[in-house]
Every structure is written in structure tokens, then in C-alpha cells.
Amino acid sequence: MSDQSSPAHPVESLLNSAMAFLKHYPPFDEMDEANLRYLCGHLSLAYYPTGTEILTSGHGLPPYLYIVQRGAVQLRPSAGYHVSGANVLALGPGECFSVYALMEQRAVGSPYTAVADTFCYRLPAKIYAELLHRSQRFQEFSTHYLRSLLRDSRRLIQMHSASAAAEQHAMNKNLCELSARTPIACAADTSLEEALRRMHQARVGSIVVINADNEPIGIFSRSDVLDRVTLARRALTDPISIVMTPKPVTIGGEATAYDAALLIATHGIRHLPITDNGKLIGVVTERDLFALQRVSARGINRTITQAGNADALEQAGRDVQTFARTLFSQGVSAEQLTNLITTLNDALSQRAVVLVQKDHDLRGISWCWLTFGSEGRQEQTVSTDQDNGLVFSVGAGVDVEQARARLLAFAQAVNAQLDRCGFPLCLGQIMAGNPRWCLSLNEWQAQFADWVNNTNPEALLNSVIFFDFRALTGDEGLAIALREYLNQLVPDNTRFLRQLAQYALEVKPPLGLIRDFVTEETEDKSSFIDLKKSAGRLFVDAARVMALGTGITATNTASRIRAAGGLLKMSEADIGSAVDAFFFIQQLRLRSQLSSDEAERAVANRIVPETLNEIDRRILKESLRQARKLQSRLQLDYQL
């Protein structure tokens, strides 16, 4: 290696040049002037010709933090991992390496090699450690590398709408930080007259009923007065406990306003008690959240639940997309946004089932509407088609085939209704209206057993689609029984799990050897990455193997990684980084799907890397690297 390092105390020109360069890249672009100058004052600039091994495990604890100034550095997987072209990561200008090794005081696990004539700024390990104490921004970057980059990405989204940034800040605050309503509370034996007087004096719409330990045991609101007091002819001397809603839905004070909005939309309520260690500390209302976000999730939910015909449901479907576009422009995280979209789409689908059911005789049949794919995983984005089925059982004296015929007519009508509401019919015919997917519980169990024990590739493909099922409406006990059967069937079948792991490794992260990414080309030669097929799928498939192998019942990808990751002894940092990476991929997909550009929406899952800003390019690269780490773990666990 030819090393043209600067002296221990760089000349002023090198310092100024380094500062000008680093101000274009996170986290340096947000560091205060004094700490950035301190950092640059201790940098040296080293030259590495093509082919030079800059840092390997043989060097022990890295002597420097390296920042690529020019050229390209290649990172290969650790020894023991399968190496292919897609398994190699290339680092470009502004990107750092040896961060994790310095933080954990260990040698790097993989070699870093110059694959072009390269210059790197080098910060001594001792100064790196000092900066962790001096600069909170630098510490945040080092401790939560990927999460820090994601924060910068959301900051750029918010910059496109200055007014939205303030709203996002408020909606991301903990509820205990917001000026939530002071709780008006009473004991269970308080008279109706006294409770109503307190509500009137405080000008609030609800009163929380608490026990001697200040724990909420019920809630009563103004909307309850007509049905439960006036029409029921209750005496005002009766205790509030007779008319209250027992066991109210509550939320912890550490939760955010977005979390509260999701609960209010899910349960169709107006008032949500806030607790701290089970003790009542406040109440947040739909109106409070409306004031913060200028839109109402519950308002859309109410439109859906009150829809009396197909036209009203169609309008509600359009409202969901408008709502999603508003929240995305405010910089809402992909996890929060997909939760809200799924919650509202669930409500819309449930209402469609209710409206259609009125015209069909389903007496004597116990049934449950199942959702598969992204809807089953509660990961719906805006552009999604239908993936659903029916599981049923019949009472004594009811013929199974006759019951199926009645259910098919019902299901086909629901499929048509959902199509009108913005959920296109599945081209692969994975719908409840298809006789193949309208099965009794015994038939579904037999089908699952066949897929698990069958070595046919088509059986494996079916298993990855259908095993992510979730009950949407109907007799949920049928879905629970099916899930329990599947979880008894899979964990001990090592052949099937190994086959499923092989499937999860079929697609490699599109990371380049020297270029940042490996892209596909359209007919007009434009390059793109398919975010669903080549990025999001990597996390979904790996999480499915992890969950089925450990008996985790969750179908959601993030929930699977969090729950199964703990059982598989993954570190909290690795679990958090994998989840963050998955949701960044989802964020990029939502950005295209919610775009005002019709051409961009038409290819919603495609991203052209050259159109990304520098921060998002770096996060996409790091996200794909996290996918590769999950795949490498599967390779080791299943000896592939």
C-alpha cells in the first residue's frame, strides 16, 4: 500500500477541504461546527491502489474509522458464508466502515478491499471514542447506524412540506408529553347524577371509572346517555357502574399520538384513557388527534362502518388513499402507515362482507374469511390485489357440498364488491370465490399437510402464499385451529424447513461488486430495482422461516423477526436493524404508490437508484446488506 498520509496536525487547507466534503454526508452534515472541526483536525488522508486490502480481521481492533473520500471499497462476507456476486457490498464516497467493530471493540469480520484507486479519510480510534462523548449526533449515528440514516430520510420527506413537519413532530411525541385532557374520574359507586355533573362542569365528553388504585375499570361518555340512561329509564341515583363500558381500551403514556390514532380507528372509540404502570394519568380524544393531524382515521372508519351500499364503500376506499398520501407527506414511518392502511382496509373489507351477507343464506354454516399474502401479514401498501379464502365447518344434517355452494356464491359477490372498492381481483385466482380456496377446516388441514410433506416446487410456492393467513371476519376459532395445526406440523419437519430456507435464498440482494446496485433493465434500457421482488421479499421469506421454525404464531414480518429473533439469540441491534431495513423498503414502495405522477404509480414497486438522493441511496444499500445478513444466518442454520 502506498500511504500518503498527512502530518499528525493537518494543514489548514486539508482541514477546510475535509469539512467541505463531510458537510454533504450524514451524520457530519448535522454535527455542530466545533465538533466537526475537532473531527477534521484529526483526520489523515490515505491512498490505497486498486487491490489493496485496507482492513482485515488480521489487523485486530481497527486503528481508524475510515471514510471513503474517492474511489470504491469492497466488503466481502465473513468466512463460512456463501460468497457470490450478489453477496458483496461496495462502499462509495461519504460512506464509513469499521463503525460496528469500533463500537464493539473487536476486529472486523470481513475484509475491506480497494477495488479502484481509493482515498480514505482516517480518524484515529482514540479520537473516534472521544467524539462519541463530545457529539450526541455522532453517538446516535454510531449506535444506531441504520436508524440514524432512516431519520435523515424522513427529515428530507418533511422538508417538502414545512407545515407538515410541525404536525409530524407533534404526532410522534409521547402522549405524556402532549397536553392531553386532564382525566375526569369517579368511583364505581358514584351516582349517575354526580358523574354527569362532573362531566358538564369540566366540559368533557367522558368520565373514567377507576378503582381504589386509580386503575381504569370503565368509561362512560355523552354518546352513552341516550341509549343507556334516557331510553333505559335509569334513575339518576343509580351507580355509574351499571351503565359504564367495562374494561375500557387504554394506552400507555409512552405511546405516540399515532399509536393512539391507530387504536381509536381500530376500536371505533372517541375517548382513550392514558395510563402509566396501569394508573390513570390522562385521556386523549379523537378531537385532540384531529387537531394535531388535521385528518381523522376514525372519521374514515366511521364512514366505512356506516356505509349502506357499494357506492359509499367505493368512496371510503378513495378516502383511505387520500389519508395515506397526507400522512406519508408528513414523514410518517412506514410501520405506522402500513398499520393504519391495513386497519382501515380491514374495516372496509369487513363492511363489504356484512353488506353482501345480507343477501345470502348461510344458516347452519360456521365460516371465517381468511386473508393471505401482504394483507395476511398486515403489511398492505396502497397498490394491492385480493388474496383471500374461506374456512368453514357445518352443523349436523348440513351437507358439506351444499354448504360450499352457498359459500361460493357469497364469496364471489364479496370478491366483486372488493374489486369495486379498489382491491383488484387476483390474477392467480387466490380468492374465496374459487372452489379451490373455499374449504372445510379438515380440508384445509389436509391441504397444509400435503404442502409440508410434498417436495414439489409448486407445493412450496403455495405454502409461502397461504401460510401467512389471518382471520379477517367470521368465526375466528376456525382460523386459530388451523394455525395451531400448522404450528404442530412444521417445526419438527426439518426437510420442509430446509426447503423453505432454500426458497428464501433464491433471490440475492441486488448489491453490486463495484457499482452500488445490480439493476434490471426495461425495454427502453432504463435501469431499476424491483423493490417487492428483489428487496422486500428477502425479509418476508427469511422471517417466515424463522417464525415457522420456532413456532411463532405471528404473520407480520416485523413481529416475526422481533419474536423469533429473540428465540434464535439474535442481538437487539441486529433485530432492530433488520426491522428498520424492511420498513425502509416499504417506505420506498409507498413513495411510488402515493406519487402524484401517474407514470410512477404504474410501476409502483420499481425504483431507479439514480433518482434517489444520497441519503436514501446509502440507506437502501445498508437495508439490502441487512437482508443479506438474514440470509447468511439461514445459510448457517440450515447448512445451505
CATH number at residue 567: 1.20.120
Same domain for 124 and 74, yes or no, is yes
Q: Please tell me the pTM assigned to this model.
A: 0.61
Look at residue 154 and tell me if it is in a domain: no
Name every residue whose Cβ is closer than 8 Å to that of residue 356 and which is 6 or more positions away in sequence. Answer: 410, 413, 414, 417
| pLDDT score, position 634 | 93
Same domain for 108 and 47, yes or no, is yes
Q: Is the pLDDT of residue 154 over 60?
A: no
Tens of pLDDT, residue by residue over 248-305, are 999 998 888 878 887 887 787 889 999 999 999 999 887 777 655 544 566 777 778 8
Q: Grid cell 446488506 — which residue? A: 625
d(CA 634, CA 640): 8
d(CA 80, CA 329): 44
Domain count, the chain: 3
Q: Is the pLDDT of residue 158 over 60?
A: no
Q: How many CB atoms lie within 10 A of CB 311?
A: 10
Look at residue 357 and tell me if it is in a domain: no
Same domain for 126 and 212, yes or no, is no
Going by DSSP bridges, is the β-strand pair 271-276/251-252 parallel, antiparallel, or unpaired?
Answer: parallel
Same domain for 183 and 119, yes or no, is no
Is 114 in a helix, a strand, or coil?
A: strand
Mean pLDDT in the chain? 84
Q: Is the pLDDT of residue 147 over 70?
A: no
The Cα angle at residue 422 between residues 416 and 428, in degrees rounded to 5: 60
Q: Which of 324, 350, 353 is nearest to 337 (CA)?
A: 324
8 A C-beta contact, residue 71 and residue 114:
yes
Look at residue 281 and tell me if it is in a domain: yes
Same domain for 510 and 633, yes or no, is yes
Q: Is the pLDDT of residue 166 over 50?
A: no
Same domain for 135 and 197, yes or no, is no
Tens of pLDDT, residue by residue over 201-229, are 888 889 999 999 999 999 999 889 988 99
**pLDDT-wise least confident of 311-325, 376-390, 447-461, 520-534:** 311-325
Residue that is last in its domain, among 250, 270, 294:
294
| pLDDT score, position 513 | 63
Q: Is the dihedral of CA 485, 486, 487, 492 positive or negative?
A: positive
Name the maximum alpha-carbon separation found in the chain: 93
- The larger pLDDT score, comparing residue 81 to residue 493, is at 493
Q: Is the pLDDT of residue 87 over 50?
A: no
The enclosing domain of 117 has a CATH number of 2.60.120.10
What are the distances in angstroms from CA 560 to CA 492, 547, 583, 609?
A: 19, 6, 14, 29
Name every residue whose Cβ is closer than 8 Å to that of residue 492 and which is 6 or more positions away in sequence. Answer: none
Q: Is the pLDDT of residue 465 over 80?
A: yes
- The larger pLDDT score, comparing residue 170 to residue 383, is at 383
Domain that holds residue 510: 500-637
Look at residue 148 and tell me if it is in a domain: no
Q: How many CB atoms lie within 10 A of CB 133?
A: 9
Tens of pLDDT, residue by residue over 302-341, are 778 888 887 888 888 888 877 777 777 666 777 878 888 8
The enclosing domain of 250 has a CATH number of 3.10.580.10
Tens of pLDDT, residue by residue over 89-104, are 678 898 889 887 887 6
Look at residue 165 and tell me if it is in a domain: no
